[in-house]
Chain A
């Protein structure tokens, strides 16, 4: 059913992504491609992968931006994947019922056996979370690694999405954003996590932690005081060791 779950899910599983520590290394991008390509949601097809115009289905992307100008300018890397919105238009527009939002935890998924590849869900998503896997003709998206987070055969510490596990800069966090005491909720509260494009009304679950303001030296007029001058240069040297 492409109706949104009612009542709204009690758990809201999602990601918190830290733009202050993301170095744009693309680790999460490839880990996702690899995990999901070989998983139940795979394959994620590539056309002409070794050709002149390669094109492929990827569920997670990292873009590099420059923001601000001059002294205030900075380079920010922005990882983008499905935000598992509460008001997921991609779910309601789906005509076949392939697209759905889980009632127990809010994860938005695609039932591949039903998808007819019309692409409307991709048009409906402002965040570009949907891709068509051309070899199979069905739409694919971030699954929040449902096959990992619920896999009892994995040690508890490893039951997290592949992108979270792999991030070398610890810029990705996973948890229940409906629980105010969860680590992710506390992170959001401490750092002022941002709801992306909130005015569009999708109520995304994922949150982005903004870059911390840099403390610039140029703004400081600090300088070291001269070491005491008596005795000149050699006196100064003497004092350094205090005998």
Chain B
């Protein structure tokens, strides 16, 4: 299908989906004389209901940016120098095919395919699996995998992508580490609704901006200590007995028995019957029953002796014992968090009150998994949301688990006023699949038997060689990062350069600005891209293919550049198979359609990938006769691809007649149906199937019908994360698969199946306090990572950033507002310009992320404020953890998921030497401009054409 031709007299409104960030609001593009004249929100769209943010409204300038790449490029000189020439698509595809075919025929692992802020991961991951390489991920490992994984291993859903707070009914809303985004407009709408109703909003964040600014209460917590605060709340609720015991007994593993047999291979695992079902003790009969037996009424306490003589106790008793210990009380939390114990106690009391005092009752009958009919759902109007402020720490997984624990104790899951799952969640805990990439699964010329990413449940699921070495280039799913559900994008270049675990041949990046803000230790990363092996004279990373729509800092380092379209020029799917836009009350997905035809020699990346898939003969993209399976490109794939029988990328209007939902044969006119409906599909769940989904029988059956679940079985939330215990047992010497000696202590310490809190390795490595301040970033509401600086409008709002320091802290250092300051970490030193504020916790400094740019990139001149006064904190972050804490040099990451721990950064801030200019540093040499890019005009009178046309 081709883009609708925009005719000279074309004035119409075209719906599509925004892509100025990951929120994916529905937008209307108003065309006037064939050009975009206005972008506003689609009022019917379930995500944003007609609103758009600054970025969405600036989409026109994104699309009309002079920094758009205009043709495929090939490197003819040295990387990073003025060495790119324009080539044809035929030549570009030829080169790419040759390079990739060679790798596929010899060792597919030598292709590392990483896709940044990609929203077509169901395609790109599938393509990687078809190619046969396990070395694939998007940016989640850098961004927020801790939060996502903690949710999937606890609830079967997580904050942001797979769940939402019910702010229409909440009385109390806690936000942990949430900046002005994620999920952007729905959260803003929800906050406004809460305010109008008199609900209370508490922001727990070291920084007070955006949502925290309008909160009723701001708790200025020290970065990385939220887990302590949360567990102190848990302690208080347990102490006061203010928990939802019936919910815990019926909907979680609270009553499941955990073996206590130290020294054995079963210690700390669920007690199971011979069929493998976890056991509980029925509190009425005392009998041992499988916990998922509909007649069981699990006891939350009581030691049991199992048939084999081992002792076992319910999860709840173990966790209550742990968290009732004063070591988890408010007094213990006060010091590290900076939040007074009295405040913590009062917050706990408020949680209890809001959750349990006269809770609302929604008289919407429903049937639970046991077949019991309920007259309605009792609300639990306490909502919690958490994002990268929790995630980007080495303790993020356990911290997020602690938050879920808090929610579960309150019973505040999937009820009115609480966190609610968004389709396709809830999924089983954890959901499939298992990651693919084991030694037997990777072979030349063959697809892998499954997808590269997944959710391991034990050592047997790891992607490791027999000697325990990682199979993947980023070491995801190895003993260094077992539950690395989103991979470790940030480790790829360093590991490839070091050849550890092995060197690669082709680095294929899409939308990943690795030579700048999507890396830590930016300068070092850039150096690695240009470093040559003295023995061969070739680059240590031999071939780099890079695809993006714009001239980012990374383009100059590529060997082959495949220019992408903008989001207004292509088809896309916001699919249930990867990053859905679901709602709690509805299954939703959406598409993007081409609004405009490209005016330059660019192609949608997904089309290119599918074409390459065919040229490489990948089975899913090639018919038996050798012809392409999807000759119509991505649009063809979206309609006709079936991941499983009847299940394709898009859930709406399936079947020959277009009436099937979720599951059904492909409908050749499916995209037309989407277009006719504003580019989205919304299937509202009928009454009785909207709440308590994990244990709601009617919902579970509906979910199977719609293809979201394969079996209509109840999903019990896991207070106890048994997979972690399996890894721990291996570290203790049990089982055939065990970690390397150097990692045993680390796994023993961190892989606690119950949440706990620990200080970051950065803190532990600095006992003298040489780096006394925490340094974090936030994403501003009007910029999205590095995407906004070529946007003529957005860069006028935020063209430079400042290091924000608490006024008292700054004064003590002799620093005044506007002063240049030196910021030093154990890894490096930069210069920034200070701003003194009240709204930051005194031990923290912060800045907006990704505002600083490299001179010459994005079409900006060397003297642009982004390059002279804007700065990048990433330069200070070592991609590897401090030496010596756990032996060897491990990634600066969460030990469980591999999440990049960039908010653990510690710095000291000082006045600069006299005479130093008030400019940012380092200033890397300006990047050369790729060929074919126009000089940006010195004056922009955008809109004049519409006036002229009107006259």
Contacts and interface: CB of A to CB of B under 8 A. Distances in A.
Contacts of B213: 23-24, 64, 74-77
B660 to A, nearest CB: 32
Interface stretch (B136-144, B475-483, B700-708, B937-945): B937-945
A135 interface: yes
Interface of B: 32, 37-41, 43, 48, 50-58, 60, 66-67, 180, 184-185, 188-189, 191-193, 195-196, 200, 202, 208-218, 236-237, 239-243, 245-246, 249, 283-284, 299-302, 316-317, 320-321, 324, 340, 342-343, 345-350, 352, 781-782, 790, 792-797, 799, 837-839, 859-861, 863-865, 936-944, 946-947, 950
Contacts of B37: 38
A37 interface: yes
A225 B349 CA distance: 9
Contact of A241 (B283, B321, B939): B283
Contacts of B860: 50-51
A200 interface: no
Contacts of B342: 218, 221, 223
A21 B216 CA distance: 11
A113 to B, nearest CB: 12
Interface in A154-174: 157-158, 162, 165-171
Nearest to B859: A50
A76 B208 CA distance: 10
A162 B66 CA distance: 26
Contact of B346 (A33, A75, A221, A237): A221
Interface in A81-127: none
A166 B57 CA distance: 9
B790 A168 contact: no
Nearest to B236: A224
Contact of B799 (A54, A211, A215): A54
Nearest to A240: B245
A25 B782 CA distance: 6
Interface in A191-243: 211-212, 214-218, 220-228, 233-234, 236-241, 243
A45 B188 CA distance: 30
Contact of B863 (A21, A52, A215): A52
5 nearest A-B residue pairs (beta carbon): A227-B241, A224-B240, A50-B936, A49-B792, A75-B213
B209 A66 contact: no
Interface in A18-36: 20-27, 29-31, 33-35
Given A49-B792, A223-B349, A24 B781 contact: yes
B781 to A, nearest CB: 4
User: Which of the listed residues A51, A222, A224 has the most CB atoms from chain B within 10 Å of its own CB?
Assistant: A224
Given A45-B941, A168-B189, 7 more contacts: A30-B54, A30-B57, A43-B943, A66-B837, A217-B347, A240-B300, A241-B283
A5 interface: no
A66 B840 CA distance: 11
A216 B346 CA distance: 10
A69 interface: yes
A215 B217 contact: yes
B948 to A, nearest CB: 10
Given A166-B51, A218-B342, A34 B39 contact: yes
A34 B300 contact: no
Contacts, number: 271
Interface of A: 20-27, 29-31, 33-35, 37-40, 42-56, 58, 64, 66, 69, 73-77, 135-136, 157-158, 162, 165-171, 211-212, 214-218, 220-228, 233-234, 236-241, 243
Contacts of A27: 51-54, 56-57, 781
B40 A237 contact: no
Contact of B947 (A20, A21, A42, A234): A42
B717 to A, nearest CB: 17
Nearest to A243: B283
A233 B118 CA distance: 50
A30 B794 contact: yes
User: Which of the listed residues A34, A58, A165 has the most CB atoms from chain B within 10 Å of its own CB?
Assistant: A34
A26 B943 contact: no
B241 A52 contact: no
A37 B41 CA distance: 18
B659 to A, nearest CB: 29
Nearest to A216: B217
Contact of B936 (A49, A76, A158, A166): A49
16 contacts: A23-B214, A27-B54, A27-B781, A30-B54, A31-B40, A34-B793, A39-B943, A46-B942, A47-B939, A49-B940, A58-B796, A135-B941, A214-B217, A237-B317, A239-B241, A241-B299
A40 B245 contact: no
A140 to B, nearest CB: 12
Contacts of B302: 234
Contact of A73 (B191, B345, B838, B947): B838
Contact of B940 (A25, A30, A45, A237): A45
A166 B41 contact: yes
Contacts of A224: 236-237, 239-240, 242, 345, 348-349, 352
Contact of A215 (B52, B54, B210, B216): B216
B936 A52 contact: no
A99 to B, nearest CB: 20
Given A27-B53, A237-B316, A42 B943 contact: yes
A225 B242 CA distance: 9
A21 B196 CA distance: 9
Contact of B243 (A47, A64, A214, A240): A240
A241 B180 contact: no
Given A23-B188, A50-B859, A234-B301, A162 B40 contact: yes
Contacts of B216: 212, 214-216
A192 to B, nearest CB: 15
A220 B321 contact: no
B838 A43 contact: no
B782 A165 contact: no
Contacts of A165: 40-41, 50-51
A23 to B, nearest CB: 5
A34 B791 CA distance: 13
A33 to B, nearest CB: 6
Contact of A24 (B60, B209, B350, B352): B209
A168 B212 CA distance: 16
Contacts of A51: 860-861, 864, 936, 938
B52 A166 contact: yes
B243 to A, nearest CB: 7
A171 B347 CA distance: 28
A214 B40 contact: no
Contacts of A26: 53-54, 781-782, 797
A50 B189 contact: no
A49 B791 CA distance: 8
Given A30-B794, A214-B217, A233-B324, A169 B192 contact: yes
A111 B115 CA distance: 51
Given A29-B797, A227-B240, A169 B188 contact: yes
Contacts of A233: 320-321, 324
Contacts of A217: 202, 217, 343, 346-347, 350
Contact of A66 (B58, B299, B838, B861): B838
A74 B211 CA distance: 12
A228 B240 CA distance: 8
B837 A135 contact: no
Nearest to A24: B210
Contacts of B58: 30, 34
B240 to A, nearest CB: 3
B939 A46 contact: yes
Contacts of A20: 195, 214
A233 B794 CA distance: 58
Given A168-B51, A169-B188, A211-B214, A218 B340 contact: yes
Nearest to B321: A233
Contacts of A35: 38
B320 A237 contact: yes
